[in-house]
Amino acid sequence: MTAAIAHRGPDEHGVFTAKGIGLGHARLSIVGLGDGQQPMSDQSGTLTIAFNGEIFNYVELREQLRAKGRRFRTSSDTEVILHLYDEMGEDCVSLLNGDFAFAIYDGRRRQLMLARDRMGVRPLFYVRHGGALYFASEVKALLEVPGVEAELDPRALDQIFTLWAPIAPRTAFRDIYELEPASLMIVKDGGATTTRSYWSLTYPDRDAPPRYTDEREAAEQLRALLTEATRLRMRADVPVGSYLSGGLDSSVISALAAPMAPEGLRTFSVTFDSAEHDESAFQNEMAQALGTRHSTVNCGDGDIAAVFPEVIRFTERPILRTAPAPLYKLSGLVRQQGLKVVLTGEGADEVFAGYDIFKESRVRRFCGRQPGSRIRPHLFRKLYPYLPGLQQQSAEYLASFFGAGNVPLDDPLFSHRPRLNGTAATKLFFSAELREQLAGFDAAEELASRLPAAFARWHPLHQAQYLEARFLLPGYILSSQGDRMAMAHGIEGRFPFLDHGLVEFAASLPPEMKLKGLVEKHILREATKDILPRAIGRRTKQPYRAPDSQSFVGRNAADYVEAAMGEQQLRAGGLFDPRAVSKLHQKCSARPTGGFRDNAAFVGILSTQLWLQSFTGARRRQSDAA
């Protein structure tokens, strides 16, 4: 099992065993290089931990514990968790500021504790088999357990083709589960298990008096919190670099981190041959402004297709976009350059309302309140200047396309209905057999059923933010695009915008400080305008995207694509209608820069077929050979 995830920790391996328990660890050494080996036991030998991630406030916690008489044998953050658990039991997680997934075996109580960080940065999966509980940072480790087989969960696939990711604890694998973010699992001797949440993302009631009314004061506090979050994430016994996309978020983090890097900040970017996706001009401007040592990896024609099977092996789930592939290449560049840790700007869009979907929802509400207006649908054109196809459409088409006025204003999923409906259209390619298995199941309604009771009392913007931050962020952004692509090359990503104190502060801000009119992340721009070039500080959000179906057709066509989407493999998989897929393939080949639905369907079908081949086909071939 440990060997299966050696890419996550190529520096050292360790194993601990006792009666009824075994812990394995693949180490990526970043803090306590010489004395942080794991699994680690306390001095009494009764507490043992296997830990993936970082505790960023471990220095402060260690000093507090020393003041209580605690003695430390190592300089690692791992030992801090052990002492804190010994002091507080499972409540120790409340004091941890970090990205973590860990297991602590308590020999005195004969119990195991599993824990995962608040925002869901680090993954943790588990399966019950043969009367035992197995857990790991990636599912591929669980598949090393004799008798645990990979089988696709049809409902998970339906959720992916609707919501972009399964809703935890469900995973793409039937009967294999994911511990949800901000959760603990306690497993007693004998197998009794309890799971509970220890933190939740919440927002003020929409009618409550605002906690912050002075924008300048709020901006100053934000700047202080973000600076401290960045400082803590620069803590390491190895150099820390930074991703630099050319957008506001990564530029802010890089600008804050640059003065904190003792040997100068290293920055890393992806460039594209496609002008529609390339942001290299902004990346270069920011790197020059900061004086960083800048490195880039180009994603040219055929590069995405070349790595896509590997990408799916690491995402461990089907995906609807190719965006993880360039990030897989980028983390490979970081590893080649000798770094292990990078800061990124992920999380700012969820925390400060940066996505187009937030602005789109506001315009749709305007249209819904005045359905006869012929002017307001034109606002949709302003939202998507980087999508030339929308610019030629009529007001009637735009209003219809975005569902303006068609969704009840009190629908809890109002903000996301156009996306959900547009994505769910990809399910037209499901086979009759799969449709029959899914009869009566509604992925969107399952999402709605998971919303907290307080959700209805929140401002519409906060409702939309919660949907992004609670589900899509850990389910897709931090997983398929984040941890899995970075850790494929043994790179640890750190996310200052997801410091839980900063997240809580941002959640308490009035909506108009985050989305001012149609200006996204207003308060963040105000708080950081003095450290960025004007062109970047005022730049409109351009979401990170990569070429989709065009990466696999025409001169980029690869043999595995033709096979995976061919009739023989489609019928063997039983998930998609071969005739419909054939027409889709022909359509994308003739018009490789088509619309969202065709692109998402093409990538979704291809990635599902590759998932089947990687996780079920190999096992089937081994079984046949035996």
In this prediction, residue 96 has a pLDDT band, given cuts at 50, 70 and 90, of very high
Nearest CA-CA partner of 227 in 263, 201, 259: 259
Residue 372 CB burial class (10 angstroms; 0-12, 13-18, ≥19): exposed
3-state SS string for 590-615: HCCCCCHHHHHHHHHHHHHHHHHHHH
Contact 311, 485 (CB under 8 A): yes
Output the CA–CA distances (angstroms, integers) from residue 477 to 38, 302, 357, 400, in the order listed. Answer: 28, 24, 15, 29
pLDDT at 202 over 50: yes
- Model pLDDT for residues 430-447, shown as the tens digit of each residue: 999 999 999 999 999 999
- Model pLDDT for residues 325-335, shown as the tens digit of each residue: 999 999 999 99
- Model pLDDT for residues 113-149, shown as the tens digit of each residue: 999 999 999 999 999 999 999 999 999 999 999 999 9
Q: Which are the contacts of 289, defined by CB distance < 8 A and separation ≥ 6?
A: 532, 533
Q: Which two tokens stand for residue 455?
A: 């959700």
What are the residue boundaries of the structural domains of the chain, listed by start?
3-197, 200-544, 549-625
Nearest CA-CA partner of 494 in 480, 482, 481, 507: 482
DSSP state of 54: E
Mention the CATH class of domain 3-197. Answer: alpha beta
Contacts by 146-151, CB closer than 8 A, 24 or more apart: 148/176, 149/616, 149/619, 150/615, 150/616, 150/619, 151/175, 151/616
Amino acid at 566: G
Residue 187 is labelled as binding a ligand: no
DSSP state of 173: B
145-154, 298-307, 322-331, 365-374: segment of lowest average pLDDT: 365-374
Nearest CA-CA partner of 114 in 124, 122, 129, 99: 124
DSSP state of 474: I
234-238, 538-542, 577-581: segment of lowest average pLDDT: 538-542
Using a cut of 0.85, tell me whether the model's pTM lies above it: yes
DSSP state of 365: H
DSSP state of 119: S
- Average pLDDT over the chain reads 93
Q: Does domain 200-544 have CATH number 3.40.50.620?
A: yes
Residue 559 is labelled as binding a ligand: no
In this prediction, residue 591 has a pLDDT band, given cuts at 50, 70 and 90, of confident
pLDDT at 392 over 90: no
Q: What is the pLDDT of residue 623?
A: 41
Rounded (5°) CA angle 406-201-361: 20
